[in-house]
């Protein structure tokens, strides 16, 4: 399992549209992908799970993945959440 701690740098946090983009990016990978915040861990491929976290700009999250492409999955989501990658 690979995991990284990331601060959300998206201007609107992970509101509905941006959460949907994150779910799309996570779904590109075969690995199991999770986002954890304040002790709550959700499947990053689930829009309902992501929305339930109600993440805002500046919040700290842990991105986790387990599987054949786990490192690539964590890197991709880290880049997106930290604002390094366009939508």
- What mean pLDDT comes out for the span 1-28? 95
Q: What is the pLDDT of residue 54?
A: 94
**21: pLDDT strictly greater than 80:** yes
Residue 86 has pLDDT above 80, yes or no: no
Provide long-range contacts, Cβ within 8 A and 24+ apart, for 55-59: 55/8, 55/13, 55/14, 55/19, 56/8, 56/13, 56/14, 57/8, 57/9, 57/10, 57/11, 57/12, 57/13, 58/7, 58/8, 59/7, 59/8, 59/13
pLDDT band at 87, cuts 50/70/90? low
pLDDT band for 15, please (50, 70, 90 cuts): very high
Which domains are assigned to the chain? 2-81 (3.30.1340.10)
With cut-offs at 50, 70 and 90, classify the pLDDT of residue 43. very high
């Amino acid at each position: 399992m690979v995991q990284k701690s990331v601060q959300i740098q998206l201007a609107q946090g992970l509101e509905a549209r941006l959460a949907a983009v994150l779910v799309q990016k996570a779904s590109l990978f075969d690995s199991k992908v999770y986002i954890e915040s304040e002790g709550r861990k959700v499947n990053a491929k689930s829009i309902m799970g992501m929305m339930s976290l109600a993440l805002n700009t500046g919040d700290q999250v842990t991105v986790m993945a387990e599987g054949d492409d786990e490192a690539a999955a964590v890197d991709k989501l880290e880049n997106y959440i930290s604002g390094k990658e366009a939508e």
